[in-house]
Structure 1
């Protein structure tokens, strides 16, 4: 039903994640990130609150493995959940409960962790993590390359219909938060959307921080 990758960039301090699913609007539920803290997902039979709990524990210096272990120990229905989390410098972590749907697997890499359920095969998360570590460019670019690699490796057992990407930097809000909530080609559409947005990311940050010196809006009537 879902495959995802979360990752960090030591060069910029950014955290982010990319995700796709046969369900609509998957990115609105499954990825959470906090600047300076980390990024987490809750998927399979999703409880969005769990990703926020993982980030709260990570914020107070619990390592990703310890945060997941604590959550697993104290959370009802945890065997229905699939979770991933990473912080800035410790080994990422993942958990798949015994009721995770269909073919499912997870892959923990040096700077990224992938996971999926109802997959075409168990190799999908590994393909995403490998592609991320081999790619170059911004964190967002590498995440989307990795997501496409997951699809190319088989993706879900059936067609996907939604996808999204979330990236946080040094601000309280995400600098990138793009979604395709229903499409026959959501990952392709998301990458095209990213390419439209990519050259404007810093402009929108500048407009928020100092509108008096921000770039032109580039719309009719703007001089």
Structure 2
């Protein structure tokens, strides 16, 4: 009942994740990223402990594949888990637990991976990756949101979505963007609208943190 995407921008070095589901609060349970490191998605019967653990593994120098293998080995409930990872070089990996409900699927491309479970169509991740790769000149957040909408248009869950989240990291220890929508009838479209409002301010908010004297706002 969740479909998600991890991606890296080869031009800026940013990492990002976008995800959506028919349950509430996806932004606090699925995407985990660290600047210049990569990130992890943890979903199906989600274990949020696996996200920070995966990021720590990536920071230690583990590849995406090594990170996923270590996460699976570390949890006795891996049969219920669906995981994905991307590392600093843009390599990707995923895991589908044996007890996951269909339809579940994955798709990989250069610097990106999509996964989903309890979907209306197993084509959803493939369509997401194709859309993400087709917009390589656009900002990373725009590409992630376009891919998320394409996944919904390809069938999505087949039932109403209520939450969505966008997480992007750049060079600092804090997110470049961390935007979430909950209890909304059209969460992907609402999230895209929030990003359109936030995008012109994103660099300014970073500047306020790292060079406050140079910032424009209050």
User: What band does the TM-score fall into relative to the shorter chain?
Assistant: over 0.9
Flag as ranges the 4+ runs of structure 1 deviating above 3 A.
none
* Structure 1 partner of 2:4: 4
**Cα displacement (A) at 1:167:** 0.4
What residue number does 2:118 align with? 118
Structure 1's 35 and 95: CA in aligned 2 closer, same or farther, altered over 3 A? same
SS of the equivalent of 1:48 reads: coil
Measured in 2, the distance between the counterparts of 1:72 and 1:205 equals: 35
Aligned position for 1:192: 193
Describe how 1:1-223 pairs up with structure 2 within 5 A.
1-135=1-135, 136-217=137-218
Contact kept in structure 2, 1:132 and 1:143, CA below 8 Å: yes
Shift of residue 102, structure 1, vs aligned partner: 2.7
Give the whole-Å Cα distance in 2 for the aligned partners of 1:90 and 1:208: 28
Deviation at 1:90, TM superposition (A): 4.7
SS at match of 1:157: coil
Normalised by the length of structure 1, the TM-score is 0.94
Is 1:64–1:87's contact at 8 Å kept on the other side of the alignment?
yes
More displaced 10-residue stretch of structure 1: 117-126 or 205-214: 205-214
Cα deviations across residues 70-121 of structure 1 (Å, max 9, x unaligned)? 2212311011000010012152001110111231111121111000111011
Q: Could you tell me how far 1:213 is from its partner in structure 2?
A: 2.1
Query: Quick check: which has more Rg, 1 or 2?
Result: 1
2:26·2:165 contact (CA, 8 Å) conserved in 1?
A: yes
Tell me, yes or no, if the aligned pair for 1:16 and 1:167 is still in contact at 8 Å: yes
Secondary structure at the aligned position of 2:49 is classed as helix
Distance 1:108 1:134 in 2: 14
Residue 27 (structure 1) shift:
1.1
Deviates more, 1:190-199 or 1:67-76: 67-76
- CA–CA distance in 1 between the matches of 2:213 and 2:59? 34
CA contact (8 A) 1:37 1:87 kept: yes
What is the CA distance between 1:208 and its match in structure 2? 1.2
User: Quick check: 1:94–1:108 contact (8 Å CA) kept in 2?
Assistant: no
| Displacement after TM superposition at 1:211 (Å) | 2.1
- The number of equivalent residue pairs is 217
RMSD after superposition: 1.1
Q: Which runs of 5 or more structure 1 residues have no equivalent in the other structure?
A: 218-223
